[in-house]
Amino acid sequence: MRTRPLKVALLGCGVVGSEVARIMTTHADDLAARIGAPVELAGVAVRRSSKVREGIAPELVTTDATALVKRGDLDVVVEVIGGIEPARTLITTAFEHGASVVSANKALLAQDGAALHAAADEHGRDLYYEAAVAGAIPLIRPLRESLAGDKINRVMGIVNGTTNFILDKMDSTGAGYQEALDEATALGYAEADPTADVEGFDAAAKAAILAGIAFHTRVRLDDVYREGMTEVTAADFASAKEMGCTIKLLAICERAADGGSVTARVHPAMIPLSHPLASVRGAYNAVFVESDAAGQLMFYGPGAGGAPTASAVLGDLVAVCRNKLNGATGPGESAYAALRVSPMGDVVTRYHISLDVADKPGVLAQVATVFAEHGVSIDTVRQQGKDGEASLVVVTHRASDASLTGTVEALRSLDTVRGVASIMRVEGE
């Protein structure tokens, strides 16, 4: 084994960073044996140096992250700051000054992955980011290495623990959205401002990264259709139960049937209780993958948290250090397929639509006509009447999102339709 240690700098020392530093110390012997050389924590960049950091020698701590990544003697820089800047500049500076990078930064990877990969390639460095999607779950390596000889057709996942906790709570207790959110906040599963989670921004960033890797093409954050889950109601869960379904916030990346384009989207959807994703409880994440040869695979585990995210970071650290000792780099970005990303209107799926209608003869015929005129075929209809008001629940066969949108617009203009109570996609069948 080489005795000269590989030098690692840590950018950020919050929940994840402090755990990375801790494991680097407590598991130093194991890491050295697995890498083939010891690793040394060479510096830690933080925002406030005054805070005492247990287990980290004070002389390693600096507030000057730029000077740290410019040192020139670093082998690996671990970026766990998050956000776009200064992370982006620090990563490219690290590449320029001889270091490979392990990052957990989904927002940055989703927005600027292509440029960062290009910078890594230019300087012959590695850029690894297993921790950026679904925390501890090995996902990026399986998709880009284990399935490198296969053709992936769909990736469908629960990639946000906060929203899964909320939806699971609504499902199991009958609580409304606000009540479930309040509990998630009280238990620390939701942040004070939960927007990034509940509006699907976090999941959309992960969808962009997953779609790019799965289909060997470039998918930007702007390419991902996004719908949050704040409008899911207890009534939606009741409807889902009647269909033998539950509701999950899903990130879905699909190859079109003709193979020439892909789509990526995040929205709440009904899935059958028999689907493996339906039984993913609490704040857990899981990603379901369908490919030509392997068939159906699922990867399940904790999607966030200091220790799980640190596990993913350290797995990458070991790989990058091994590559360094081998004088090689791992697989970089693979975007050769250069597929078109189709808009949401092209997505084909099933829909569950609840309408409030007048309880009088002929309404169903009117509604059915509208669906037919837009080429949307109806699978089942359920009608419930009470006191002159009625509700009509329509489940469609597979149709394009554009056709469905047209159908709903036309339904809204019918006198007999008082309102569209909810529209939800049905997936996983």
Residues in contact with a copy of itself by CB under 8 A are 19, 23, 27, 30-31, 33-34, 130, 136-138, 141-142, 145-151, 216, 276, 279, 291-302, 305, 307-308, 310-319, 322-323, 326-329, 331, 334, 336-337
* 285 and 159 Cβ atoms separated by less than 8 Å: yes
Name the residue nearer to a copy of itself (CB basis): 253 or 313: 313
CB of 283 to a copy of itself, least distance (A): 11
Residues known to be catalytic: 206
CB of 121 to a copy of itself, least distance (A): 12
Q: What H or E segment, with its residue span, contains residue 104?
A: none
Return the closest-CA partner of residue 229 out of 302, 180, 282, 173.
Answer: 180
Does the N-terminal peptide bond of residue 86 adopt cis geometry, omega within 30 degrees of 0? yes
Name the residue nearer to a copy of itself (CB basis): 307 or 423: 307
* 117 and 179 Cβ atoms separated by less than 8 Å: no
CB of 191 to a copy of itself, least distance (A): 21
Name the residue nearer to a copy of itself (CB basis): 11 or 357: 11
Q: In the 3-class helix/strand/coil scheme, how is 124-144 assigned residue by residue?
A: CCCEECHHHCCCCCCCHHHHH
CB of 374 to a copy of itself, least distance (A): 37
Name the residue nearer to a copy of itself (CB basis): 16 or 180: 16
Name the residue nearer to a copy of itself (CB basis): 110 or 297: 297
Contacts of 274 (CB under 8 A, 6+ apart): 244
Name the residue nearer to a copy of itself (CB basis): 179 or 290: 290
Name the residue nearer to a copy of itself (CB basis): 130 or 236: 130
CB of 140 to a copy of itself, least distance (A): 9
CB of 328 to a copy of itself, least distance (A): 4
CB of 174 to a copy of itself, least distance (A): 20
Q: Is 85 exposed, middle or buried (0-12, 13-18, 19+ CB in 10 A)?
A: exposed
What Cα–Cα distance (Å) separates residue 372 from each residue in 103, 155, 336, 401, 410? 50, 31, 41, 15, 11
**Would you tell me the crossing angle of helices 15-26 and 28-35 to the nearest 10 degrees?**
80
HSE-up of residue 329 (Cα within 13 Å, Cβ side): 21
Whole-number Å distance between alpha carbons of 326 and 346? 46
Name the residue nearer to a copy of itself (CB basis): 184 or 320: 320
Name the pairing type of β-strands 295-302 and 378-386. Answer: unpaired
Contacts of 52 (CB under 8 A, 6+ apart): none
- What is the DSSP code string of 207-224? HHHHHHHHHTS---GGGS
Whole-number Å distance between alpha carbons of 68 and 62? 8
* 40 and 281 Cβ atoms separated by less than 8 Å: no
Strand order from edge to edge, sheet including 127-128: 61-62, 39-45, 6-11, 76-79, 100-103, 127-128
Whole-number Å distance between alpha carbons of 30 and 374? 62
CB of 394 to a copy of itself, least distance (A): 31
